[in-house]
Copies of this chain bind each other. A is one copy, B any other.
């Protein structure tokens, strides 16, 4: 029944196994041997689907990046005042991060040793830059404080959002959970923890 077992493997399931192993061992520390063992299929079966581990990395981080960049094309990110758009993007970034947790975790751990890693870092910077531009527009509108350095604020905002990968673990059917989390991040970032004076 070797054939049947092999047939259950799609590029999609192989990808989810690879992402788990990359997150556990680090990309550099993962060999095709590790992937083969974790997936329970031979190395040659893996090569039937992909050219090697770098292709798996590229597919995995692409999934995270596509999810993030898609936010910017949503109506909420393009319509209304800049402050509303930046709040929308912040909320949706938390939602994509929690929905695609292993993929975004891998993206955030990429360090830049291979071409794929450097490409992923560039794309991440591009996304952060788009958010920084929205923040700048909201400052120009007078809706965000002008006395905060935008570059620093963007870094701290993403620092807070991205820290979710360290501790957030999805509940089964936890959409309400995710929405509450996104609400809290938006409140903290834009209104602060202090009671309204």
Question: Which residue of chain B has the shortest Cβ distance to A141 in the bound complex?
Answer: B195
Q: Does A148 contact B (CB under 8 A)?
A: yes
How many copies the complex holds: the figure is 2
Taken residue by residue from 186 to 197, chain A's Cβ proximity to chain B (1 for < 8 Å, 0 otherwise) reads as 011111111111
Partner among B149, B166, B180, B191 whose Cβ is within 8 Å of the Cβ of A194: B191
Residues in B with CB closer than 8 Å to A155 are: 163, 167
Chain B nearest Cβ from A144, distance in angstroms: 5
Partner among B83, B143, B163, B192 whose Cβ is within 8 Å of the Cβ of A163: B163
For chain A residues 76-120, which have a beta carbon within 8 Å of chain B?
83
- Classify the interface of chain A: helix, strand, loop or mixed: helix
Residues A188 and B189 in contact, CB atoms below 8 Å apart: yes
Partner among B83, B148, B167, B187 whose Cβ is within 8 Å of the Cβ of A184: B148
Residues B184 and A156 in contact, CB atoms below 8 Å apart: yes
Residues A195 and B148 in contact, CB atoms below 8 Å apart: no
Partner among B26, B135, B184 whose Cβ is within 8 Å of the Cβ of A152: B184
Residues in B with CB closer than 8 Å to A6 are: none
Q: Does A64 contact B (CB under 8 A)?
A: no
Which of A145, A149, A156 has the most B CB atoms < 10 Å from its CB? A156
A159 to B161 alpha-carbon distance, docked (Å): 8
Which of A143, A157, A158, A188 has the most B CB atoms < 10 Å from its CB? A188
Residues in B with CB closer than 8 Å to A189 are: 188, 192-193
